[in-house]
Chain A
Amino acid sequence: MSQPENKQGQVETTGHVWDGDLREYNNPLPRWWLWAFYITIIFSVVYWILYPAWPYGDTYTKGINTVEYTVEGENGEEKTVTEHWNTRALFTKNMQSSPSALAQQEWVNKVKDMSFEEIEQDPDTLQFAMSVGHGTFGDYCAACHGAGGQGKIGLFPNLADNAWLYGNSYETIVSKIDGGINGMMPAQNVPEDKIDDLAKYVLSLSGNAEISGEAASRGKQAFATCAGCHGQNGEGNEAMGAPNLTDAIWDVADVPGCGGDTACQVDEIKHVVNNGIERQMPGFGDRLTETQMRMLAIYVRQMGGN
């Protein structure tokens, strides 16, 4: 049985005795510690009242603190939404009314009223548009085209080269982002005896292979089917998005990947000719605003060095 003792002149002990004479001091905690403890209790009660805290059933106590932000209604007018405090609503609010959000909005409004030429001529505005465009590209385009627009051969076009299948004007780029693209080359059933020559002829257009005499004329003949889209000399057609076959860029057939091996190159081309290509890019017009698409176009166009 332990009995606290407090004889005059002695520090209070817990009353426990070990080994006959070992005792433990009983030193109370400082008063400020006790008060700090009470304050934390009061703090937590205030917190429960203000913020979401206790789960019950399939919901939770919402707290009386609220966050106000504006949303655009269905018919375009803005309305204020008041929600119980939560980090998502707070984020929305900050994106609308924080100083940096307001500063960004100011720049966006400036860009909205400027023509592409005006934006290009002002370094600061251009820098802003490029940086917003870069962010937008990362969010919406990079999944297919790659973070730097380098694409994936055969699947997604490389945007960092200077070949623009549909033209490189800002307006064209915006319209393609807006409406999407259906890139299509039908499969050509070129007879087995002609396809080798055709493929070699295509290679020769860009100087990747030498072809002479009869083979050349057979290839040229077979190319007549292709000329409808790619043009008589294979220089492509922007109206249809048919690529220029005479330049050094290969977007679908992985010719550079063959490392100069002609047989491999021919195979690559044969494969494309016989199976055709179907590439689709969805339109982003319903997800991006006009200004966002314009800034995105500025960013995308410069990647190719234009």
Chain B
Amino acid sequence: MAQHDDPSYAADELYAAREPIHPKGIRGRFRRFKNAVLLIAYGVFFLLPWVRWERLTGPDQAVMFDIPSRRYYLFDLVIHPQDMFLLAGFLILAAWLLFFVTGLVGRAFCGYFCFQTLWTDTFMKVEALVQGDRNKRMRLEKQPWNAEKITKKGITIAIWTAIAFWTGFTFTAYWADAPQLFVDFFTLDAAKAAYITTGILTVTTLIAAGFAREQVCIYMCPYARFQSVMFDKETLLVSYDAKRGEGESGRKPLKQGLMTLDERHGQGVGDCIDCKLCVQVCPTGIDIRDGLQLECISCGLCIDACDQIMTKRGWPTGLIRYASEQELETGEKPNLLKFRTIGYGIATLAATALLLYGIFARAPADISVQQVRQPLFTVLASGDIQNNYNVKINNKLQERLDFTLALEGLPDAKVSVVGDFEGLSVPADGSRKYLVHVRAPRDAEVDRRKIEFVLTEENGRIEPLEHDATFVFR
């Protein structure tokens, strides 16, 4: 049981309410980079479902995850259920890439690419637009609930909801024909699942990006907990150069006699003027000068803030910067070609190569042959033996395939397809099951014999498909 030193602590205050954080807007390199990533990510996410793509069979949507027909369409790549291992490959690749990047530059994913970061960022922009920057927002927060506060908060939440809804709807649009869904959705004609998905995503987006924000990163995100195992002394992290900032007698605000670097250094005072701008701009509300923390998502906004102040004073920038632990201690630049990075790099490349190989080496068609087991064999009027086989052919191509069926390993056998089909045709991007009867003269010497079905495409569009089976005599 934790010891509580705070005298005001009482049993009914076990759970502290969240202190709202109102980060200040800032301009700078990392802000620009974040904006660029946000723009690209939003561009891809919100526009992709609307891109059209002509297909012979299947939907004319560039990216569509079609659950009812069990196909994932990604431009010219069509993922069938039996290609699902590609998804596993993709996830492995994503994991290795994440480890690689984290080993190199820390939580770059958290700071720039994570959905939580992107959407929170957008929602904060909306907040700033409606309610003004940090000071105004803090004042508004303290105000009683008057008309101004209700209006401003109301407009903010309304815009948030609109963005959250469009986020949810866009996600849903990946799983259906987007324009059709748009019409159906608003004429209340869409599938129940579409409303449920959109609804859940609207609510969760609103809560996560609007209200929970950094709490998601701090309390909910598992990545925050294990990221540090991927760090080492040479990993680049957003760091405060304590040696430079604190000097020998700590940080001091600007005042008479401590205005220039020479004056400060002369008195053993560090370069940090304790303006607290780095704290004010932090979206998780931490003080980077306290060192590496779980809450730090590596967004680099404090770097922008500090650089701005340093530039204004005409002092060298980089008091807060991307630096490795080793660099801060010894001044040694990190060695980028360290064992860990190379290892993750090779793993990432290998995963990429395997994934690409997996994509290009997918079989254009496959067969499965299953012997009918009840009964295993039948004696016919002539004394011949009959075995039955279910032959299922999957065609993943966008064109029809016509096969001729041949049997190897049983020279006297007669093969017939139920329905008396001469050729076995399989529609484009579809599958068909044929029942095949095989008859052979009784052979008292053997119990069973290995046979092989060979399906040859009549127009030679693909390699012949082969499948082993067993013929049972008795």
Contacts and interface: CB of A to CB of B under 8 A. Distances in A.
Contacts of A304: 378
A161 B378 contact: yes
Contacts of A146: 374-375
Interface in A25-78: 25-28, 30-31
Interface in B374-402: 374-375, 378-383, 386, 388
A247 B381 contact: yes
Contact of A123 (B379, B381, B416, B434): B434
B226 interface: no
A25 B10 CA distance: 12
Interface stretch (B210-218, B355-363, B419-427, B454-462): B419-427
B76 interface: no
Interface in A234-253: 244, 247-249
A80 interface: no
A6 B9 CA distance: 11
B446 interface: no
Contacts of A27: 11, 14
Interface in A5-22: 6, 8-9, 11-12
Contacts of A163: 380-381
Nearest to A249: B381
Interface stretch (A89-97, A124-132, A188-196): A124-132
Contacts of B374: 146-150
B458 to A, nearest CB: 16
Nearest to A30: B15
Contacts of B383: 247-248
Given A9-B7, A11-B9, A130-B418, A148 B386 contact: no
Interface in B8-36: 9-12, 14-15
A162 B419 contact: no
Interface residues of A, number: 37
A213 interface: no
A121 interface: yes
Contacts of B12: 28
Interface residues of B, number: 33
Contact of A127 (B380, B381, B416, B433): B433
Contact of A248 (B11, B381, B419, B421): B381
A158 interface: yes
A123 B378 contact: no
B294 interface: no
B312 interface: no
Contacts of A6: 10-11
B432 A124 contact: yes
Contact of A30 (B10, B14, B419, B437): B14
Contacts of B9: 9, 11
A106 interface: no
Interface string B305-337: 000000000000000000000000000000000
A290 interface: no
> Chain B CB within 10 Å — which of A8, A121, A158, A160 has the most?
A160
A261 interface: no
B375 A12 contact: no
B4 interface: yes
B14 to A, nearest CB: 7
Interface string A168-204: 0000000000000000000000000000000000000
A249 B419 contact: no
Nearest to A24: B1
A302 interface: yes
A256 interface: yes
B379 A121 contact: no
B380 A123 contact: no
A108 to B, nearest CB: 19
Contacts of B11: 6, 11-12, 26-28
A210 interface: no
Given A25-B1, A30-B15, A148 B373 contact: yes
Contact of B375 (A28, A31, A127, A160): A160
B381 A28 contact: no
22 contacts: A8-B7, A9-B7, A11-B1, A11-B4, A11-B11, A25-B1, A26-B11, A28-B11, A31-B15, A120-B419, A123-B425, A123-B432, A150-B375, A158-B378, A160-B378, A161-B378, A161-B380, A162-B386, A163-B380, A249-B380, A302-B418, A305-B439
Given A27-B14, A158-B375, A249-B381, 14 more contacts: A9-B9, A12-B11, A26-B11, A30-B15, A123-B421, A127-B432, A147-B374, A158-B378, A161-B386, A162-B380, A247-B381, A305-B386, A305-B416, A305-B439
Interface of A: 6, 8-9, 11-12, 25-28, 30-31, 120-121, 123-124, 126-127, 130, 146-150, 158, 160-163, 244, 247-249, 256, 302-305
Interface of B: 1, 4, 7, 9-12, 14-15, 372-375, 378-383, 386, 388, 416, 418-421, 425, 432-435, 437, 439
The 7 A-B residue pairs with the shortest CB-CB distance, nearest first, are A148-B374, A247-B381, A150-B375, A248-B383, A160-B378, A305-B437, A302-B418
